[in-house]
Amino acid sequence: MTTHDSGTTWSRRRVLASLAAVAAAAPFIRGTRGESDDSVVLRYTSHVPNSHGLYARVFRPWEEIVAEQTNGRIRWEHYVDGLLHGSLDGFKAIAGGVTDYTHGYATYSREAST
């Protein structure tokens, strides 16, 4: 025979109801941003050329989605064609502050496993 602790059940219901209420109200209480320029510029680096499908058909459309969803607050500087680092140095480029967003291949580098 299973017994239920009404205190635990009530707490779970209360937590779930509270979360649901906050989720329902969140779009209406999020506030507005002023006219300040709070945009962020991120550096995207890649060893692939700008004609590569990964860049042209994946990153560029994704970049447009991010810009649209953030109302242009996230912007990108592009450094492709291996301009700032090669394919083996993605983790080093992130750790060294060379880039904010790049490819990192764990099978290419020992830094990924340390």
The predicted-structure confidence for 30-46, as pLDDT tens digits, reads as follows 555 444 568 899 999 98
Alpha-carbon gap, residue 66 to 74, rounded angstroms = 7
pLDDT tens per residue, range 89-110: 888 888 898 999 888 777 765 6
The residue with greater pLDDT, 31 or 47, is 47
Alpha-carbon gap, residue 91 to 77, rounded angstroms = 19
Is the whole model's pTM more than 0.85, yes or no?
no
Residue 9 pLDDT: 53
Q: What average pLDDT does this structure show over 14-31?
A: 62
* CB-based contact 55:46 (threshold 8 Å): yes
Alpha-carbon gap, residue 21 to 10, rounded angstroms = 16
